[in-house]
């Protein structure tokens, strides 16, 4: 599997993804966000769209993350998030953040090296920052925020499995 930054926001990269295979496929056609991808045998299996924070140009916000439906659960998302965050820091960004709206995305962000900041967005997404505190209590605080919500059976079971669990280990940068 290879990982690549297709372009930064100023480059205006676009990416066409099959909406039947990828969540948020339409978000990747926009040219105002940068894009990173994970590819296998030339086929995109995961993608991230990102841009600088509107209020802090030193912060890169990962906006949309998608992994092809048939490849979920293989660790592609966390490795792609880690790859993108590392490239952003190399490019001079001081902070990389992502706002996650479900416990699966929260866990993927943690596996990529992000930690819960205690902040939420107006959309009730939990804000995680790359390299932030990954203390077990902080990790569980984020999980507990999801427990307060109306969840699917799969999300509830996922959270139940992690009641007293430590933060997941961080994946290696795939580069």
Smallest Cα–Cα separation from 79: which of 111, 49, 105?
A: 111
pLDDT of residue 133: 85
Q: Provide the domain count of the chain.
A: 2
Is residue 48 situated within a structural domain? yes
pTM of the model: 0.93
CB 59 within 8 A of CB 96: yes
Is residue 174 situated within a structural domain? no
Same domain, 134 and 150: yes
Neighbours of 73 (CB within 10 A): 9
Please give the C-alpha separations between residue 136 and each of 34, 102, 115, 131, 169, in angstroms, as whole numbers.
32, 19, 10, 14, 11
Name the domain boundary from 60, 93, 126. 93
Same domain, 16 and 89: yes
Same domain, 136 and 80: no
Burial class (CB in 10 A: 0-12, 13-18, 19+), 147: middle
Please give the C-alpha separations between residue 84 and each of 37, 60, 65, 74, 145, in angstroms, as whole numbers.
9, 10, 11, 18, 26
pLDDT in tens, the chain (175 residues): 999 999 999 998 999 999 999 999 999 998 899 999 999 999 999 999 999 999 999 999 999 999 999 999 999 999 999 999 999 999 999 999 999 999 999 999 999 999 999 999 977 899 999 999 888 999 999 999 999 889 999 999 999 999 888 889 999 988 7
CA distance 142 to 140: 5
Q: Token digits for 2?
A: 């290879």
Same domain, 34 and 109: no
Same domain, 65 and 125: no
CATH of the domain at 56: 3.40.630.30
Is residue 175 situated within a structural domain? no
In the 8-state DSSP scheme, what is residue 10?
G
Name the domain boundary from 93, 122, 144. 93
Same domain, 151 and 76: no
Same domain, 71 and 114: no
Range of the domain at 157: 99-169
Same domain, 3 and 52: yes
Same domain, 62 and 26: yes
Same domain, 59 and 106: no
């Amino acid at each position: 599997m290879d990982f690549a930054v297709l372009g930064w926001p100023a480059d205006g990269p676009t990416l066409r993804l099959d909406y039947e295979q990828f969540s948020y496929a339409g978000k990747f056609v926009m040219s105002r966000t940068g894009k990173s991808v994970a590819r296998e045998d030339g086929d995109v299996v995961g993608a991230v769209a990102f841009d600088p924070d509107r209020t802090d140009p030193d912060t890169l916000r990962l906006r949309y993350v998608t992994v092809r439906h048939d490849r979920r659960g293989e660790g592609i998302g966390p490795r792609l998030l880690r790859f993108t965050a590392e490239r952003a820091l190399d490019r001079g960004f001081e902070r990389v953040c992502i706002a996650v709206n479900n416990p699966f995305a929260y866990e993927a962000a943690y596996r990529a090296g992000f930690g819960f900041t205690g902040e939420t967005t107006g959309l009730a997404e939990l804000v995680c920052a790359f390299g932030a505190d990954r203390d077990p209590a902080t990790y569980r605080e984020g999980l507990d925020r999801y427990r307060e919500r109306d969840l699917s059976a799969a999300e509830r079971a996922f959270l139940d499995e992690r009641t007293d669990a430590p933060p997941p280990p961080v994946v290696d940068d795939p580069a």
